[in-house]
C-alpha cells in the first residue's frame, strides 16, 4: 500500500491540475478510486480494511505535509488541501478507528483553515447550502450522512482530547467558530436556525452555549425571537429553548444597569427578576420557562447536580459516552444525557 501510494502521489497526483479537486464530483471520483484500491490492498496483502484505510490516510498526510514544507510551511491549497477531505471521506466510509491518525488529520485541517466549517456546515444546512455560504459543496451524499459523519468526527475528537487555540482562547473541536457564519460557534448557528435535533447532538457532546465572540446570550436571543410571535410559538424554537435550558444552570440575561440608574435601586437588587418579568412576562405566563430556571426561584438541586456532573465529564473529555460508565440507574443516565428533564 505504501509503495503504491508513493508512486501515485509522485507519478500521477503531482502531474494533475492544481484545481482538479475543486469540484465535488471530482473528489467523489477519487474517493471511489481509492475505495477500490483499499479493498484490493486489503485482500491482496491479507490486511484488514481498517489497516489499509489507515495506511492511505497516513500517506495522504505525509504528502500534504511534504508539500507544505517545500512551500515554507504554508499550505498550497487547491488539490493539495482537498486531498485531506478525500482522506476524511475515506476514513468515514471505512469507519477508521484510529484516534491518533484521525486527530492528526483534524489537526492538519485546522492548521490550514483555522475552522472546521466544511465538516459542520453540511450537517447543519445540508449538502447544497455551504456552496452559497462558502463556495464549496459537501463531500457527503445528503444531510443525514453529513450528520453521521459529524458524530463520527466528534467521537474521535473527544477521544483524542483535541483542543485548539485562537486569539488567546482555547476551543474544543465542537466549539471552533465557523468563519462563514460570522465567526459564531456551531451551537449558536444551530440555535438561530431553530434546529432542535442538531442542537441535541451538539449539547450531548458538550458544546458550550456561550463560548464564541458574540456579545448576546443565545438563550436570550431565543426568548427575543419567541416574543415576536405573539404567543403563537414555533415548535422547533420552543424545543431549542427547552433543550438549551437542560445544559445550563439557569438563563442569565444581559443586564445594562445604567438603564435603571434613574430608579436608584439598591446594589443587591435582583435585576434579573425585574428584566425577566418586564421583557418576557408572556413567555413566563405560558410556562415555557420554569421560574426556577430564570432567577425567580432557586434552581432545583437535581438540575444543579446534573450541570456539575456534566461539567466534570466535559473537563475529562467524557461526554456523552462517559455517562454510561457511571454506576447509576438508566433513568439518571438519561437525565444526565439531556434526554429527560
pLDDT, tens digit (0-9, with 9 covering 90-100), for 254-288: 766 565 555 556 655 667 787 888 889 999 999 99
160: its cell numbers: 483524542
CA 163, CA 107: separation in Å to the nearest integer?
9
Q: How confident is the model at residue 159 (pLDDT cuts 50, 70, 90)?
A: very high
Cβ contact 189:211 at 8 Å? no
The pLDDT assigned to 339 comes to 95
192 phi/psi in degrees, rounded to 5? -65, -30
Give the pLDDT mean for 125-148.
80
Higher pLDDT, 277 or 154: 154
Tens of pLDDT along 28-73?
A: 999 999 999 888 887 777 778 888 899 999 999 999 999 999 999 9
Give the pLDDT mean for 135-149.
88
Higher pLDDT, 253 or 106: 106
pTM: predicted TM-score of the whole model, two decimal places = 0.90
Cβ contact 103:162 at 8 Å? yes
Crossing angle of helices 24-44 and 49-70, rounded to 10°: 130
Give the pLDDT mean for 212-223.
74
- Give yes or no for residue 210 having a pLDDT over 80: no
Amino acid at each position: 500500500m505504501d509503495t503504491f501510494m508513493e508512486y501515485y502521489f509522485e507519478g500521477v497526483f503531482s502531474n494533475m491540475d492544481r484545481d482538479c479537486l475543486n469540484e465535488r464530483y471530482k473528489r467523489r471520483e477519487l474517493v471511489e478510486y481509492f475505495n477500490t484500491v483499499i479493498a484490493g490492498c486489503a485482500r491482496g496483502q491479507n490486511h484488514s480494511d481498517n489497516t489499509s484505510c489507515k495506511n492511505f490516510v497516513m500517506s495522504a498526510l505525509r504528502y500534504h505535509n511534504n508539500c507544505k514544507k517545500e512551500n515554507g510551511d504554508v499550505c498550497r491549497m487547491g488539490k493539495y488541501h482537498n486531498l485531506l477531505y478525500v482522506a476524511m471521506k475515506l476514513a468515514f466510509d471505512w469507519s477508521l478507528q484510529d484516534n491518533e491518525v484521525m486527530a492528526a488529520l483534524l489537526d492538519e485541517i485546522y492548521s490550514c483553515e483555522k475552522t472546521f466549517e466544511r465538516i459542520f456546515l453540511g450537517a447543519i444546512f445540508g449538502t447544497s447550502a455551504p456552496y452559497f455560504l462558502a463556495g464549496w459543496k459537501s463531500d457527503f451524499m445528503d444531510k443525514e450522512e453529513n450528520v453521521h459523519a459529524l458524530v463520527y468526527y466528534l467521537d474521535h475528537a473527544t477521544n483524542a482530547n483535541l483542543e485548539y487555540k485562537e486569539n488567546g482562547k482555547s476551543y474544543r473541536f465542537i466549539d471552533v467558530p465557523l468563519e462563514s457564519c460570522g465567526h459564531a460557534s456551531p451551537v449558536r448557528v444551530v440555535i438561530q436556525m431553530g434546529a432542535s435535533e442538531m442542537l441535541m447532538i451538539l449539547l450531548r457532546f458538550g458544546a458550550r452555549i456561550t463560548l464564541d465572540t458574540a456579545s448576546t446570550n443565545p438563550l436570550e436571543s431565543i426568548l427575543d425571537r419567541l416574543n415576536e410571535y405573539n404567543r403563537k410559538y414555533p415548535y422547533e424554537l420552543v424545543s431549542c429553548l427547552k433543550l438549551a435550558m437542560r445544559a445550563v444552570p439557569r438563563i442569565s440575561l444581559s443586564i445594562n444597569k445604567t438603564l435603571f440608574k434613574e430608579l436608584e435601586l439598591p446594589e443587591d437588587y435582583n435585576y434579573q427578576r425585574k428584566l425577566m418579568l418586564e421583557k418576557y412576562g408572556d413567555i413566563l405566563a405560558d410556562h415555557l420557562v420554569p421560574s426556577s430556571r430564570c432567577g425567580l426561584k432557586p434552581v432545583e438541586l437535581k438540575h444543579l447536580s446534573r450541570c456539575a456532573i456534566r461539567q466534570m465529564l466535559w473537563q475529562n473529555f467524557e461526554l456523552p459516552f462517559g455517562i454510561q460508565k457511571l454506576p447509576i440507574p438508566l433513568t439518571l443516565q438519561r437525565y444526565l444525557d439531556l434526554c429527560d428533564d
